[in-house]
Structure 1
Amino acid sequence: MKALARTMMHNRRALADKAMKAAITARLKAGKDLVSPVCIYSIAEAHGVRVTFNDINMEGMYQRGSPPRIHLSSRRPLPRRAYNCAHELGHHLLGHGSSIDELRENQLVRPWDVPEEYSADTFAAYALVPTLGLRNAFATRGLKPETATPIEIYRIACQFGIGYSTLITHLLWGEGMISRARADALRKFTPRTLRAHILGSLTPNPLIVADEAWGGHAIDAEVGHLLLLPSGTVAHGDAIASIADLEGGRLFEAKRPGLVRIDRPGTEWAAFGRIARTAYVGRAEFRHLEDDADD
């Protein structure tokens, strides 16, 4: 049994190493560095993979063909969709066959026990959150993974466009930056309770926090999402609207699809917001197109 366990661990390490290298190569071939957060949909398109959001009750699907396609559920939360896209892109770039990934909560087999699923998950984690980028995210905020608060972890998850629990899993198993006890302590907090702590009240609306260390990359959101931006931030456009000034920053709500320039007068802090329709269905690259005036 011990020999079998050692063999399985060795195999997993080999799979993880291959998937991590594939993720690095995928970013570089798409013209991306190994530090900054990325739009995974643009990386997929750069590799010739067409990404579409569909009204389907599953995580996603990879379809080999000409062109290869990734189908994602528009019903899933925005961070989950990005992760699912990276997962399906992993199937493509690692040479796997077509696959259908059902809802995680409905899976009878643990995905990490299936080599191709484990590889695709590992690829997704490193494609979205490269090691150098993760270390930089903590360093620029003066934080350490073992002592950062749950809210600080939440902010870094927002920066990379992934879920809070996904980041905890990657810190534990992918990077070995936190202990299992630390991961268990962080998981006692949910995104819902963290939103309540940050905003001072409960809300069902998803919240994206872009702090001073955000780094200038685009903020992806959907209509109805809340955005907590640095105090004094101004939006140049009506896709988002300021609704409150809080102790932690200026709170905005995404009002309609479109692009919006965001900056903080008197400072170098600036970003673009890309707002999509709620539960948008269609090609990923068109998700933030503005509504027609005649609609």
Structure 2
Amino acid sequence: MRTTKLSFDRRALATEAMQAATATRARAKLDQTGPICIYGLCETLGVVVRFNNINMEGMYQRGVPARIHLSARRPLPRRAYNCAHELGHHVFGHGSSIDELREDAKARPWENPKEFLADTFAGFALMPIIGLRRAFAVRRWTPETATPWQIFTIACEFGVGYGTLLTHLSAGLNMLSHRRAEALQRVTPKALRADILGKTTSDPLIVADCHRTAPTLDAEVNTLLLLPPGAEIAGDGLVFERDLAVGRLFRAAKAGIFQVRAGDWAVFVRIAPVQKDEPWYGYIGLAQYRHLEEDLDE
């Protein structure tokens, strides 16, 4: 028996998702340009978020309160995107759902309109078009001519993955040609880190420059952070590694919240712990407690 693929108006649903993302930011009294903490947004909306040792992208559990369960096994940027996706299910009043593992956020078009709606909502909620335009303009970059490390820098500012930003710029916003997006997608994370740092490493990397506007930066223990030249740390949460031509490299050493300053620029780095078991995975527990040195739970 042949199965029939679901057909739906993707453009109409994308417009609906963009409007819902804008309204959700406004409801939480967030601006329509800057990066957001998706976990803080969920808390404001009364949605409980928890990280679990589960082999899936995430799960939305409808109820009072509504709950989002995220896999602690996924990379930090993917967890944030998955959280925004599950929040989309909540905003649109969908029932409980489980999202299985995927190669990359939005890499394959959804055949289910609810999943497409939630995924597109996540893109617009985390990466609003006005904010992305500002991020490129203030650095005097353009999406079409940006280098891989420039794209990666902006992805880090909005807390998403390199590939996720490329897909959103190309398929979601038409700010980047499909041909250029495909070329940039061929750059592997390993090669990208090697190009930025001048050496190969398997450790996660976050880049933050003085144009970054968000007051906070989320990281995990053992994450490498490339911060602006002259960056100084208050506390012992970040350990200096070396100076590079483009900034100072640090390693996140312990859980907690630590301030970084570089001239007039400042940010609070919020570091979450990681599990030491094999295979390695991140913090397990309620999202609101992820930066505390001692875990608190329900």
TM-score, with structure 2 as normaliser: 0.92
Give, as a single letter, the amino acid of the residue that structure 2 aligns with 1:79.
Answer: P
- Distance in 2 (CA, whole Å) between partners of 1:188 and 1:99 is 32
Report whether the alignment pairs 1:53 with 2:51: yes
Instruction: Give the share of equivalent positions with the same residue, in percent.
Output: 58
Give, as a single letter, the amino acid of the residue that structure 1 aligns with 2:289.
Answer: F
Q: Which residue of 2 aligns with 1:79?
A: 77
- Distance in 2 (CA, whole Å) between partners of 1:93 and 1:291 is 32
Give, as a single letter, the amino acid of the residue that structure 2 aligns with 1:203.
Answer: T
Higher mean alpha-carbon deviation, 38-47 vs 80-89, is at 38-47
Higher helix share: 1
Which residue of 261, 264, 271 maps to 1:263?
A: 261
- Distance in 1 (CA, whole Å) between partners of 2:189 and 2:29 is 32
Query: SS in structure 2 opposite 1:113?
Result: coil
Q: Which residue of 1 aligns with 2:273?
A: 277
Shift of 1:216: 4.2
Report whether the alignment pairs 1:250 with 2:248: yes
Give structure 1 regions of 4+ aligned residues with deviation exceeding 2 angstroms.
none
Deviations 1:22-46 (A, max 9, x none): 1111111111101110000010111
In structure 1, the gaps of 5 or more residues are 1-6
Q: Which residue of 1 aligns with 2:160?
A: 162
In structure 2, the gaps of 5 or more residues are 1-5, 275-281
Query: SS in structure 1 opposite 2:110?
Result: helix
Deviations 1:144-188 (A, max 9, x none): 110011110000000000000000000001100111110111011
Partners of 1:111 and 1:117 within 8 A in 2:
no
Partners of 1:169 and 1:183 within 8 A in 2:
yes
- Distance in 1 (CA, whole Å) between partners of 2:181 and 2:7 is 24
Partners of 1:37 and 1:160 within 8 A in 2:
yes
Partners of 2:35 and 2:214 within 8 A in 1:
no
Q: Which residue of 1 aligns with 2:187?
A: 189
Q: Which residue of 2 aligns with 1:286?
A: 289
Q: Which residue of 2 aligns with 1:4?
A: none
Q: Which residue of 1 aligns with 2:35?
A: 37
Shift of 1:18: 0.8
- Distance in 1 (CA, whole Å) between partners of 2:104 and 2:150 is 31
- Distance in 1 (CA, whole Å) between partners of 2:133 and 2:103 is 31
User: Do the aligned partners of residues 116 and 197 (structure 1) sit closer, same or farther apart at CA in structure 2, a change above 3 Å counting?
Assistant: same
Which residue of 104, 118, 121 maps to 1:120?
A: 118
- Distance in 2 (CA, whole Å) between partners of 1:269 and 1:32 is 21
Query: SS in structure 2 opposite 1:20?
Result: helix
Residues paired across the two proteins, number: 282
Query: SS in structure 2 opposite 1:148?
Result: coil
Q: Which residue of 1 aligns with 2:11?
A: 13
Partners of 1:34 and 1:133 within 8 A in 2:
yes
Residues 102-113 of structure 1 mapped to structure 2, 5 A cutoff: 102-105=100-103, 110=108, 112-113=110-111
Over aligned residues, Cα RMSD in angstroms?
Answer: 1.8
Deviations 1:68-111 (A, max 9, x none): 0000000000000000000000000011111000101499xx55
